[in-house]
Amino acid sequence: MAANTMRILMIEDELNLVSTLKKGLSEQGYAIDTAYDGEEGLYYAQHEPYDLIILDLSLPKIDGLTICKEIRSQGNRTPILMLTARSQTEDKVLGLNTGADDYLTKPFSFEELKARINALLRRKENIELPVLKIGNLVMNIQKHEVLAGDKVIDLTPKEFAVLEYLLRNKNKVVTRSMILEHVWDYSYEGMSNIIDVIIASLRKKIEIDKSNKLIHTVFGVGFSMKDPS
């Protein structure tokens, strides 16, 4: 049983699957709300507080990717576990880059679903500082906003997550594996160089003054974020 009642929104149009998962998760102590199409699911996600959203990729009315984008664009950081019958790497990368926190391909075991849910909820429960700073860079976690001086920096959900992880570990060296495990969880099977791609993009966006380098490469190990002072 879950130590505290957690509220989960399940947006899924396969009635038999919903019935099975809802029964199993309810027995684990979770409170489950269900929506059978994207329109209804997006409404619930926007108007009710949830600890986790289980979101199918293929839905009637509004698809899962569109829902995920909309939720994240509104600053909602509720963990999203995306479900799909698709197994192609491209679909996984697309879902994760849209803002999903984890990805599960059908068919899957109930035990695997529980493990993914538990991992996401543990991550969510960590107490986080609302504002992170280094040099002239300021990240407001609650507002989902990053400023470099007076300039607002536009970041993708994954860029924001990677930058947040680097800021929380500033002056420490973090490996690519550490970043992958924190931002994508253990299920990620996408591009092997995704971390380097995101780091390169972050450098272009946040290092406006090239003389004040923030993200340093530690060759053969990983990366370190250091205050330019």
Mean pLDDT, to the nearest integer, of 22-35? 88
User: Could you give the angle at the alpha carbon of 145 between the alpha carbons of 139 and 149, nearest 5°?
Assistant: 60
What token pair was written down for 142?
A: 């609650």
| Phi (first) and psi of residue 94, to 5 degrees | -60, -45
pLDDT in tens, 98-122: 889 988 888 889 999 998 898 888 7
Instruction: Report the C-alpha gap between 109 and 17 in whole angstroms.
Output: 12
- What 124-133 contacts at long range (C-beta under 8 Å, 24+ apart), as own/partner pairs, is 124/51, 124/52, 124/78, 124/79, 129/168, 132/164, 132/167, 132/168, 133/167
Q: Which residue has the tokens 């068919």?
A: 107
Is the pTM for the entire model greater than 0.75?
A: no
Instruction: Report the C-alpha gap between 85 and 122 in whole angstroms.
Output: 26
Instruction: Report the C-alpha gap between 36 and 59 in whole angstroms.
Output: 8
For the chain, the 3-state helix, strand and coil shares in percent, each to the nearest 5, are 40, 20, 40
- Is the confidence at residue 3, as pLDDT, over 60? no
Residue type, 45: A
**Residue of 33 and 228 predicted with greater confidence:** 33
